[in-house]
Structure 1
């Protein structure tokens, strides 16, 4: 392990590789305990999370549902509950995966907020988008989608006096692969420190369908590149990112991309900057 690998892994509090199923089970219990403690410490009883149809939100959502079920059993208070929110932009091309994720999560309450109108309304009132190239405008609008989705989640959480869950984990954090004040905004992030492969291991342990566990990850924010795989945006694979974070040797090109991207995206992990 290089000094930079060790430094970055420590900064992101990366979880060591799981040795066996017992280690996965222990980690699941630890993260459920974290969710329950966070909710009770806030004096609140509702959790909210957007479910996209990918493995990250499916895993975080199922952990949230199990946590509130345990809280109800432990306290006798039926007010503890989890709200899973579908947040499509018009028609979702992977609708079948999103529906499968909702069935797996089995939330106490389900809601759908189609963000297309809000995104179109905001984009249409900002004149600064007009002079951009088609590709740049598509990219900026993608970030509007991510931020509108978080506004919707916080609106529901505010209505119920609850907390919003985020799905960030170490493999995304190291690449700065999230939208500031969009999917990067949340009250608690129960997957933090896990690499992508570990998120899949947890999902599989919780009983997620293999199609969700191994689904090709995509932020799916760009109209010009619908379903664009994360790895195409990264320039490296999640297997390489995971190996880097766990101190294993990776190809020099992948090493350089990960380190340079980590340094370049520092501003996204250290907000706000202060004197």
Structure 2
């Protein structure tokens, strides 16, 4: 899906970097920590954080990681460190931690349920790791979710990659992420890579999991914002619209505040 003619990469870049710098300054923290996956969202987020001039820690957290993801992550980190002297990196190997956890918990015989649950476990181990590094270095955890993932279909792990301090690109849809990443010279290998959450050993892409591409999901998100309904579409458009609406509905628990049971005053 093409970005709008009014999308100004230079101005949007400046706006996000200033927002990050102002937030960190007001919060009285030293800088940012970002999990680097080899994907475009984390590459863009880390580049934006690096531009603030504040310490920016890039963390690799492999868990039985597909080699192509590892290679792209390393390529991006090397490029970023060459461009920005405030960028540092560390690798925390989580494979043995994950394997130890799996060996200690009950296994469900339902394969699909087990695979999804373990994928979410990987994301939550990574969240814990990022907050460890944030805590000892006085940094904020920068989220890497985009608008379609965070507010469209809820394609992230609750208290995993959804557990962050700031979300600098959460108002950008995927096509805008690609445009801004290209403007900021993110490595070509990352720009061309198929989006993947990296939570499965077989390099399962996001489109394989969701059943629709990000361009299609952006289209569906726009149709919902325009007030359209399923009756307006047929064929592949109807299928994509249905996928978007289903995921948006079942994942509202991720997007809305945690429900609080309010106690009537006369009972307290």
> TM-score when scaled to structure 2?
0.85
The whole-number CA distance in structure 2 between the counterparts of 1:264 and 1:113 is 33
Aligned pairs (5 A) from 1:199-238 = 199-223=177-201, 226-238=202-214
> What is the distance in 1 between the residues matched to 2:238 and 2:253?
25
How many residue pairs end up in the alignment? 244
Contact 1:139 1:222 in 2 (8 A): no
Deviation for aligned residue 1:244: 2.7
Cα RMSD between the aligned structures?
Answer: 2.0
What are the ranges of 5 or more consecutive residues in structure 1 without an aligned counterpart? 1-15, 70-79
- What is the deviation of 1:209? 2.2
- 1:159 counterpart = 2:144: no
Partner residue, 2:99: 120
- Deviation track 1:156-211 (CA, whole Å, cap 9, x = no partner) reads 00001211011111111211100010001100010011111110001000011222
- Whole-angstrom CA distance in 2 between matches of 1:84 and 1:165: 10
**5+ long unaligned stretches in structure 2:** 262-268
CA distance in 1, matches of 2:121, 2:114: 10
Distance 1:193 1:91, change over 3 A: closer
* 8 Å Cα contact 2:65/2:198 also seen in 1: no
2:153 matched residue in structure 1? 175
The aligned residue for residue 60 of structure 1 is 45
**Alpha-carbon distance in 2 for matches of 1:123, 1:270:** 30
In structure 2, C-alpha distance between the alignment counterparts of 1:222 and 1:172, rounded to whole Å: 18
Q: Which sits farther off after the overlay, 135-144 or 44-53?
A: 135-144
CA drift of 1:20 comes to 5.5
1:268 aligns with 2:247: no
Choose the corresponding residue for 2:238, options 233, 252, 270: 252
Partner of 2:265: none
Residues 157 and 164 in structure 1, CA contact (< 8 A), matched pair in contact too: yes
Instruction: Give the TM-score of the pair, scaled to structure 1.
Output: 0.83
How far off is 1:243 after superposition? 2.1
Match of 1:36 in 2: 21
> Any idea what SS the aligned residue of 2:161 has?
coil
